[in-house]
């Protein structure tokens, strides 16, 4: 019974943040025309980029979800936020511009995350190969140590992804509260009474990766438990 309750708690910790984030973003996506006449999310993003003289940064529509791509220097917004006039569209655009500002300033944590992302992609590829190869290596060599070593290397590579998630959270919080919130507040871009709601959206934007972090930690813990057997 204890393990069932623990599993339910762990699953709730993994999935509830994601549910809350979607709820907040959808809630403030209405009314869809709240900022009509003032500009879309894409227009605000371009305005803010010009304000900070980030003329090399582009703004594009994407189907891959809102994000900033430091490789191509591009703020990418989902269709609803790119062409939308909602509070969510305006606020999310400011958040993604916050990442562009972090990049332009060469902030240490942002640069560390980017290096870790590259390493994690390679690490996850290695982990996939190693985890598949482990049982075959054991069958070929008949030595448990060889299979365990391959498995350990695979789990260590997988752990890089977990580290990326952990480093990502403070980067996201800074993009929301250190960059976007002051921009929206000082620039008077929001209607009266919208700032507290924008704070909720910025929190949701920052916590988008929390569910991924928890899932990654849970998966890593599962493999570490396997290694201990």
Confidence label for 107 from pLDDT (cuts 50, 70 and 90): very high
Confidence label for 193 from pLDDT (cuts 50, 70 and 90): very high
Confidence label for 94 from pLDDT (cuts 50, 70 and 90): very high
CA distances, 207 to each of 75, 77, 98, 175 (Å):
19, 17, 15, 11
Mean pLDDT across the chain, nearest whole number? 84
Q: Which domain holds residue 95?
A: 2-228
Using the predicted structure, report yes or no on whether residue 228 has a pLDDT greater than 60. Answer: no
| pLDDT at residue 213, as a whole number | 63
Question: For the ranges 65-69, 95-99, 108-112, 165-169, which has the lowest average pLDDT?
Answer: 165-169
**To the nearest whole percent, how much of the chain has pLDDT over 70?**
73
The answer, as to whether pTM is greater than 0.95, is no
Using the predicted structure, report yes or no on whether residue 140 has a pLDDT greater than 90. Answer: no
Confidence label for 126 from pLDDT (cuts 50, 70 and 90): confident
Question: For the ranges 53-67, 112-126, 149-163, 165-179, which has the lowest average pLDDT?
Answer: 149-163
Choice between 155 and 68, residue whose per-residue pLDDT is larger: 68
Task: At 176, list the tokens.
Answer: 């929301």
Q: Based on the structure, what is the number of domains in the chain?
A: 1
Choice between 152 and 80, residue whose per-residue pLDDT is larger: 80
CA distance 36 to 58: 22
């Amino acid at each position: 019974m204890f393990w069932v309750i623990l599993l339910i708690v762990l699953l709730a910790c993994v999935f509830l943040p994601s549910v809350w984030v979607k709820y907040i973003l959808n809630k403030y996506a209405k009314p869809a025309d709240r900022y009509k006449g003032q500009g879309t999310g894409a227009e605000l993003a371009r305005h803010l980029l010009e304000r900070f003289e980030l003329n090399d940064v582009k703004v594009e529509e994407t189907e891959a979800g809102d994000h900033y791509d430091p490789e191509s220097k591009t703020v990418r917004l989902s269709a609803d936020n790119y062409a939308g006039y909602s509070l969510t569209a305006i606020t999310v655009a400011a958040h993604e511009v916050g990442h562009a500002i972090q990049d332009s300033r060469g902030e240490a944590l942002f640069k560390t995350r980017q290096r870790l992302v590259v390493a994690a992609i390679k690490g996850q590829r290695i982990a996939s190969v190693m985890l598949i190869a482990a049982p075959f290596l054991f069958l070929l060599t008949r030595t448990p140590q060889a299979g365990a070593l391959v498995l350990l290397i695979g789990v260590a590579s997988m752990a890089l992804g977990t580290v990326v998630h952990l480093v990502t959270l403070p980067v996201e919080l800074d993009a929301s509260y250190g960059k976007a919130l002051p921009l929206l507040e000082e620039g008077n871009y929001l209607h009266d009474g919208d700032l507290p709601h924008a704070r909720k959206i910025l929190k949701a934007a920052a916590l988008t990766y929390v569910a991924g972090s928890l899932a990654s930690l849970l998966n890593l813990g599962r493999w570490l438990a396997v290694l201990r057997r």
